[in-house]
A and B are shown apart, each in its own frame.
Chain A
Amino acid sequence: MDLAAAMNELPEVHAKALRLHRAGTDASGIAEALDIDVEAVGPLLRVAEAKLASLLAAPDPPGRLAPDTTGQSPGTDHEPGS
């Protein structure tokens, strides 16, 4: 799955936290934007990053593996529900 699709699949707050973080917003800015405690920003970002990594590692949809997209690396298996 590509980055844009993976971001869309994330829970809304996780996606928002990651966008802010990647835009250079510091923890207090993220905390303010999300209306959470500043101490909670670090763990929230860790969960968000882990979820994003899982989505990015998820297999490409079947069509994307077809030969008319030559040069694409094959996807990897994953267990249903993972």
Chain B
Amino acid sequence: MIAHWPLIGRREELSIIERTLGEDQYRGLLLAGAPGVGKTRLAREALAAADAAGCETKWAVATRAVAAIPFGAVAHLLPPAEEKSTHLQLLQQTGQWLAERAGGRRVVLGIDDAHMLDDASAALLFHLVINGIAFVVATLPTGVPAPGPVTSLWKEGIAERLEVQALACSEVSQLIEAALGGPVEGLTRERLWQLSRGNILYLRELIRGGRQTGDLACSAGMWRWAGPVSAPPQLAELIQARIGALPPALRDLGELVAFGEPLAFRVLAQAGVSAAEVEAAERAGLLSTEEAGTDIRVRLGHPLFGEVIRSQTPQMRRRTVHITLAEAAGSVGGRRSEDAVRIAVWHLEAGILPEPELLVTAAGWALAALDYQLAEQLCRAAGDAGPNWQAERLLAQALVGRGKAGAAEDLLVGQFALARTDAERTKIAGIRALNLYWGLNRPEQARDVLDQAAAHVAGSAHRAGLDAMRGRFLLHAGRCLQVLDVLDPVLADSGVPHRVMLEAMATATMALVACGRYDDAIAVAGRGLPLARPTTGEGWLLALDELASTQAIAYLWSGRFTATFGLAESGYQRALEVRSSPNVAVWALVRGQLAAARGAMTEASVWLREAIATLGGPAPLHPYQGSIARAGLDALAQVAALTADLPAAQAALAQADALAGPPIRLFDTWPGPVRAWIAAARGDIPAAVDLALDTAAEARQRGHAGGELNALHDAARLGAPARVAPRLAELATVVQGDLASLFIRHVKAQMAANGTGLDKTAASFAALGANLLAAEAAAEAASAHQQIGRTASAAASAARAAALAVTCQGARTPALIGLHEPASLTPRELEIAKMAASGLSSRAIAARLVVAVRTVDNALGQVYAKLCIGGRAELSSIFTLPEAALAAGSMGSSPRTHLAHAVSPAG
């Protein structure tokens, strides 16, 4: 278990506390806040800081148990008892005694839970503060009355009152990862954030409970919470005690909201709840409200309240609550929206079968939200009311989504004949073909279903739908040029429904990326993204993320990391918000590939592990998810190989090979020549070159010009520029973006052993933020300069390569072999080195960083030793590299970057 939780997100509070302690303006500090927010820890830290500053510190805790005893909380602070002392005398004697024991040092007194102080203790506290005998740091909960003397401290301006807030989302992420000592999967972080809302006590108890039950566990270097997160018993008791103290009417209201949140106030009003009751519940912290259009949306005050209330509600009362909710919501008219899902579910929970129309509408919404389990439940309930063709069609879709491919096929096989319109025929054929392709691994039969449907469908819009799916199957087979032939007419037809157009665009975008037509891919995705919105219908989020993530890859492979980062950041957050594992995995994969392209190997490894872990679970992967997992494992193997971690690379590759299901041939050349880099890590460079060239040939055969270009450049990086130069020149006329021409310049400079040219190439790579490529080119430049005796240039290039290599978090590629391997610069060393390189003196740097001059000089000494350079002059030549290059390895707002120093790239 975690013995000591780090203090995170409290730097500013501590700074204010220390300033208040150091100044004469106030004689005390009151830390107020909600229970569990971390007041006591902050007060403890304040006392530790005071102790370190030479103060005499004392600590006292007020509790309910000693609240009835005069001086109960501070008994240990009192002098030995003197008989016949009056109350006032005792106060004075205590003050004198404390001052004498402090021996001239300032006394700082910490009081935890000052609201529970007995009157005598509170009076003593006031006496000590008002007479300047002690500085007090006290904690008390917000909204709870405190004894008069304590209240006077801040009301009369004697002490400062600081409201301590719950942590922010990013701080919670940092705290979780710091406490667990490793990266935590994004969905787990998001869930823990949602449940704790930054309350540190809740967070700690949740994690403690998860560790005890084994639900929160670390696998392959990634912490993940498997299954639902529930409140552990200790936390449930805490919450229950808080809710149990409320009046019965508020507890009843809490039950309604617990089973129905979020609830519009008009629904509550329909159920007989008054505005005054909601207001009272809000004041008590039980509920929270927010404006929602013309209405007010009501939720519980904390997400964990719901779980505790629901678990404590008797079965009969649950039925009553569900009936109340269903009737109230139904009577205010919520049937034309996703409210239908909730109304239908409330009916079912109450044991009442609602109208089949409501169930079918609700099932449609559940499918749109990708909640296949609920959709199945609703469809089956509709079927219980009698034969229902619509419910059966939706049920088939739900079964496909749940991976019950055989049962879905049994339903779908007869549905085509029952369809009455071309739209229905197209829809059914599409679902069935997808199920045959992915679920049952029968690609030929899937194509037959599409052909058969095409023969029965007249409208061009419906034919376009079938073509869009045909295009997708061709894409998965890796036949990208044919994909574009099939889809070009669809993309040019303005009459095609949005849903079909989106699918065609997503497919075309991927094909264009594979073909190296990055600008075209970006343009097509740019046209499609505005079409992807909830009104598009089922699967709109999948379509949106498919388009956006492929666009992100197009930006990445054409060297535009800015745009990749922006898309990946927002896409990842969106996927977390809707808790869609496949989408989170896709974006984690993109972020991993971006980090790898920047040379940030540790960060890449963490993101790729997250992509894989997010898809992991007790159930076998859906084939589509398997293809994402396979791409993630391939990329992870490559990152491990680039850091010369052969066992990790081979393990990842073996794991990828073991994944069942039809492979997506498109991805075969997608991450690059993985096996080539593994051979290189083994030291077998000739084999590595051959494998890279094999990958390039395979990509060429399939028309994957982008993959071919990358593989050929990798062969050049492995030492075979002459073997790839002619074909690279041809590809430069096909592959879009700046990277292609940069690769050619690099290879030409390699072939000519042109040190100056390689230096320029290194600078160009560095300007893009591609640090590993930049480091390799700089190392090659050093070698080229050395060969013709330009030792000064060689030293400068080598120093640049070393400076770049330290940002690459352990990368060890053949081009870097022979380069002096410096230890990583710490962030502070890097900061000081850059200041020194910019011309600042040690004294100026010391003043800016508020440290001693000797500290700066010591840090610079470390920098010179690590970079093997003589002094400031050489430092300047290294740190004139573009900022992006130096920054890319260790900076960024990513929640992953703070782990860069804690985790090795391979795990």
Give the interface of A toward B (CB within 8 A).
Answer: 1, 5, 9-14, 34-37, 39-40, 43-44, 46-47, 50-51, 54, 58-69, 74-82
CA–CA, A39 and B425, complex, Å: 69
The answer to the question of B168 belonging to the interface, with a C-beta cut-off of 8 Å to chain A, is yes
Nearest chain-A residue to B155 (Cβ)? Answer: A39
Instruction: State how many angstroms separate the Cβ of B13 from the closest Cβ of chain A.
Output: 6
In the complex, the answer to whether B828 meets A81 with C-beta atoms within 8 Å is no
Nearest chain-A residue to B142 (Cβ)? Answer: A36
In the complex, the answer to whether B32 meets A40 with C-beta atoms within 8 Å is yes
The residues of A that contact B566 with a CB separation of less than 8 Å are: 63
Nearest chain-A residue to B769 (Cβ)? Answer: A66
The answer to the question of B319 belonging to the interface, with a C-beta cut-off of 8 Å to chain A, is no
In the complex, the answer to whether A65 meets B163 with C-beta atoms within 8 Å is no
Instruction: State how many angstroms separate the Cβ of A56 from the closest Cβ of chain B.
Output: 12
Instruction: State how many angstroms separate the Cβ of B495 from the closest Cβ of chain A.
Output: 37
CA–CA, A63 and B897, complex, Å: 14
The residues of A that contact B560 with a CB separation of less than 8 Å are: 66, 68
In the complex, the answer to whether A81 meets B561 with C-beta atoms within 8 Å is no
In the complex, the answer to whether B163 meets A13 with C-beta atoms within 8 Å is yes
In the complex, the answer to whether A59 meets B892 with C-beta atoms within 8 Å is yes
The answer to the question of B891 belonging to the interface, with a C-beta cut-off of 8 Å to chain A, is yes
Instruction: State how many angstroms separate the Cβ of B109 from the closest Cβ of chain A.
Output: 20
Question: Interface of chain B, helix or strand or loop or mixed?
Answer: helix
Nearest chain-A residue to B566 (Cβ)? Answer: A63
Closest 10 CB pairs of A and B: A63-B565, A74-B883, A63-B562, A80-B898, A65-B884, A50-B12, A40-B161, A11-B168, A59-B891, A11-B165
Nearest chain-B residue to A47 (Cβ)? Answer: B12
The residues of A that contact B162 with a CB separation of less than 8 Å are: 40, 43-44, 47
In the complex, the answer to whether A43 meets B160 with C-beta atoms within 8 Å is yes
Given contacts A47-B13, A66-B562, A67-B882, contact A79 B769 (CB under 8 A): no
Instruction: State how many angstroms separate the Cβ of B682 from the closest Cβ of chain A.
Output: 31
CA–CA, A78 and B15, complex, Å: 18
Having A47-B162, A79-B828, one finds 19 other A-B pairs with CB under 8 Å, namely: A11-B166, A11-B167, A37-B154, A39-B157, A40-B162, A59-B887, A59-B892, A61-B893, A62-B561, A62-B598, A63-B563, A63-B565, A65-B888, A68-B562, A74-B887, A77-B834, A77-B891, A78-B827, A80-B827
Instruction: State how many angstroms separate the Cβ of A64 from the closest Cβ of chain B.
Output: 6
The residues of B that contact A39 with a CB separation of less than 8 Å are: 154-155, 157, 161
CA–CA, A46 and B163, complex, Å: 11
CA–CA, A56 and B453, complex, Å: 57
The residues of B that contact A9 with a CB separation of less than 8 Å are: 168-170
In the complex, the answer to whether A81 meets B898 with C-beta atoms within 8 Å is yes
CA–CA, A54 and B893, complex, Å: 12
Instruction: State how many angstroms separate the Cβ of B38 from the closest Cβ of chain A.
Output: 12
A-B contact pairs, 24 of them (CB 8 A): A11-B167, A11-B198, A12-B165, A12-B166, A14-B165, A40-B163, A50-B15, A50-B16, A59-B891, A60-B892, A61-B893, A62-B891, A62-B892, A63-B562, A63-B563, A65-B888, A66-B767, A67-B767, A74-B887, A77-B830, A80-B899, A80-B900, A81-B8, A82-B11
Q: How large is the interface on B (under 10, 10 to 19, 20 to 34, 35 or more residues)?
A: 35 or more
In the complex, the answer to whether B834 meets A63 with C-beta atoms within 8 Å is no
Nearest chain-A residue to B178 (Cβ)? Answer: A81
Instruction: State how many angstroms separate the Cβ of A57 from the closest Cβ of chain B.
Output: 12
Chain B 590-627, CB-CB to A under 8 Å as 1, else 0, gives 00000000101000000000000000000000000000
The answer to the question of B174 belonging to the interface, with a C-beta cut-off of 8 Å to chain A, is yes
In the complex, the answer to whether A47 meets B897 with C-beta atoms within 8 Å is no
Instruction: State how many angstroms separate the Cβ of A58 from the closest Cβ of chain B.
Output: 6
Of B168, B882, B888, the contact of A10 (CB 8 Å cutoff): B168
In the complex, the answer to whether B163 meets A66 with C-beta atoms within 8 Å is no
The answer to the question of B569 belonging to the interface, with a C-beta cut-off of 8 Å to chain A, is yes
In the complex, the answer to whether A77 meets B827 with C-beta atoms within 8 Å is yes
Chain B 1-29, CB-CB to A under 8 Å as 1, else 0, gives 00000001001110110000000000000
In the complex, the answer to whether A36 meets B561 with C-beta atoms within 8 Å is no
In the complex, the answer to whether B769 meets A63 with C-beta atoms within 8 Å is yes
CA–CA, A78 and B32, complex, Å: 30
The answer to the question of B860 belonging to the interface, with a C-beta cut-off of 8 Å to chain A, is no
CA–CA, A14 and B167, complex, Å: 10
In the complex, the answer to whether B174 meets A81 with C-beta atoms within 8 Å is yes
In the complex, the answer to whether B163 meets A44 with C-beta atoms within 8 Å is yes
The answer to the question of B901 belonging to the interface, with a C-beta cut-off of 8 Å to chain A, is yes
In the complex, the answer to whether A13 meets B769 with C-beta atoms within 8 Å is no
Residues of chain B from 141 to 189 with CB closer than 8 A to chain A in the complex? 142-143, 154-155, 157, 160-163, 165-171, 174, 178
Instruction: State how many angstroms separate the Cβ of B485 from the closest Cβ of chain A.
Output: 33
CA–CA, A45 and B19, complex, Å: 15
> Which of B157, B831, B883 lies at the interface centre, i.e. has the most chain A CB atoms within 10 A of its CB?
B883
In the complex, the answer to whether A1 meets B893 with C-beta atoms within 8 Å is yes
Nearest chain-B residue to A44 (Cβ)? Answer: B163
The answer to the question of B312 belonging to the interface, with a C-beta cut-off of 8 Å to chain A, is no
The residues of A that contact B361 with a CB separation of less than 8 Å are: none
Instruction: State how many angstroms separate the Cβ of B443 from the closest Cβ of chain A.
Output: 38
In the complex, the answer to whether B897 meets A80 with C-beta atoms within 8 Å is yes
The residues of A that contact B168 with a CB separation of less than 8 Å are: 9-12
Nearest chain-A residue to B169 (Cβ)? Answer: A9
CA–CA, A41 and B436, complex, Å: 63
Chain B 548-589, CB-CB to A under 8 Å as 1, else 0, gives 000000000000111111100100000000000000000000
CA–CA, A65 and B885, complex, Å: 9
Of A10, A35, A51, A66, the contact of B768 (CB 8 Å cutoff): A66
CA–CA, A44 and B16, complex, Å: 10
The residues of A that contact B161 with a CB separation of less than 8 Å are: 37, 39-40, 43
Nearest chain-A residue to B283 (Cβ)? Answer: A35
The answer to the question of B331 belonging to the interface, with a C-beta cut-off of 8 Å to chain A, is no
The residues of B that contact A65 with a CB separation of less than 8 Å are: 769, 882-884, 887-888
The residues of A that contact B898 with a CB separation of less than 8 Å are: 80-81
The answer to the question of B89 belonging to the interface, with a C-beta cut-off of 8 Å to chain A, is no
Instruction: State how many angstroms separate the Cβ of B520 from the closest Cβ of chain A.
Output: 18
> Which of A43, A59, A66 lies at the interface centre, i.e. has the most chain B CB atoms within 10 A of its CB?
A66
CA–CA, A46 and B769, complex, Å: 37
In the complex, the answer to whether A54 meets B891 with C-beta atoms within 8 Å is no
Nearest chain-B residue to A31 (Cβ)? Answer: B163
In the complex, the answer to whether A54 meets B12 with C-beta atoms within 8 Å is yes
In the complex, the answer to whether A63 meets B887 with C-beta atoms within 8 Å is no
Instruction: State how many angstroms separate the Cβ of A59 from the closest Cβ of chain B.
Output: 4
CA–CA, A68 and B162, complex, Å: 44
Nearest chain-A residue to B30 (Cβ)? Answer: A40
The residues of B that contact A10 with a CB separation of less than 8 Å are: 168
Instruction: State how many angstroms separate the Cβ of B690 from the closest Cβ of chain A.
Output: 34
Instruction: State how many angstroms separate the Cβ of B291 from the closest Cβ of chain A.
Output: 13
In the complex, the answer to whether A61 meets B166 with C-beta atoms within 8 Å is no
CA–CA, A59 and B894, complex, Å: 10
Nearest chain-B residue to A58 (Cβ)? Answer: B893
Nearest chain-A residue to B161 (Cβ)? Answer: A40
Nearest chain-A residue to B766 (Cβ)? Answer: A67
CA–CA, A54 and B900, complex, Å: 21
Instruction: State how many angstroms separate the Cβ of B549 from the closest Cβ of chain A.
Output: 15
> Which of A37, A39, A81 lies at the interface centre, i.e. has the most chain B CB atoms within 10 A of its CB?
A81
CA–CA, A68 and B737, complex, Å: 12
Instruction: State how many angstroms separate the Cβ of A73 from the closest Cβ of chain B.
Output: 9
The residues of A that contact B174 with a CB separation of less than 8 Å are: 81
Instruction: State how many angstroms separate the Cβ of B593 from the closest Cβ of chain A.
Output: 13
The residues of B that contact A51 with a CB separation of less than 8 Å are: 12
The residues of B that contact A54 with a CB separation of less than 8 Å are: 11-12
The residues of B that contact A12 with a CB separation of less than 8 Å are: 165-166, 168
In the complex, the answer to whether B831 meets A77 with C-beta atoms within 8 Å is yes
